[in-house]
Homo-oligomer: A and B are copies of this chain.
């Protein structure tokens, strides 16, 4: 119920929240007071004008429409099909009109990431224990990655986006680990949660890459893969350099059960976290 703070004293959760709220308000006040440089890197995610200046014609598009259109194209024909021309065509505007809403294509990518992050439904706070909450978030994230196979590629080429949708996921995970009976400090909580998310992303990346390979070569089953990769693989295996791998290929049974593998690894991680809780 209590936690050691930096100066060695203990504070209750209520005290902690009050302290942080006060600090945030002070920071906000300071920011409002100083009116500094135009702070350019600020607009990482493009925003609509909060209060539209009254002059001139109304914009015909919203950022949400652009994001939805881009996601739609990527879902249908892959990330490479998202070109400014095609995106504009889908929105029935001229190509260059898009640049009234986004600074460049990177902005479009940021909008896509935000849109997808908003898709994931978080478990209600306190509706389950930390373990079940983390499991649900992981499952939800994985589902998103599989629904949008281009996501992994986008996340690895686009910088981190500061958006409420993204922060909310992080907060949900941290809050679950911040429950009353848990003894992790903040750094460990973040490390534990980011371990889980890293795992989910890594798995999804690999899984999507495999699907992509199957699609490109027209394989529809694991047997197709074995038939096609065999001529390349068998000579290597036959030389005896990879005995354990050969054992897997010959005797393994869950080879294409991505769901099972994912769950296996996830439970490993949750067990590891549990061990650190002394539970």
Contacts and interface: CB of A to CB of B under 8 A. Distances in A.
Interface string A183-207: 0001111111011011111110110
A58 interface: no
Secondary structure at the A interface, as helix, strand, loop or mixed, is helix
Interface string A225-260: 000111111111110111111111011111100001
A210 B192 CA distance: 18
A219 to B, nearest CB: 8
A244 B13 CA distance: 10
A98 interface: no
Given A156-B156, A160-B213, A171-B242, A265 B198 contact: yes
A99 interface: no
A198 B195 CA distance: 11
A16 B247 contact: yes
Interface stretch (A69-77, A89-97, A162-170): A162-170
Given A159-B212, A247-B186, A231 B42 contact: yes
Contact of A42 (B232, B242, B243): B232
Contact of A44 (B186, B202, B232, B246): B232
A88 to B, nearest CB: 23
Given A42-B228, A205-B201, A20 B243 contact: yes
Interface in A15-44: 16-17, 20-21, 23-25, 27-28, 31, 39, 41-42, 44
Contact of A186 (B155, B189, B248): B248
A35 to B, nearest CB: 11
B232 A156 contact: no
Interface stretch (A60-68, A114-122, A270-278): A270-278
A48 interface: no
Contacts of A268: 192, 195, 268-269, 272-273, 275-276
Nearest to A162: B232
B27 A230 contact: yes
Contact of A245 (B42, B171, B234, B251): B171
A159 B246 contact: no
A147 interface: no
B189 A248 contact: yes
A174 interface: yes
Given A155-B205, A159-B212, A275-B275, 20 more contacts: A5-B251, A6-B251, A17-B243, A24-B246, A28-B234, A28-B238, A42-B232, A153-B156, A159-B210, A159-B216, A160-B210, A164-B236, A186-B248, A186-B251, A190-B261, A191-B261, A191-B264, A198-B206, A199-B199, A202-B205
11 contacts: A28-B238, A42-B232, A162-B232, A187-B255, A197-B202, A198-B203, A200-B202, A201-B206, A265-B269, A268-B268, A271-B275
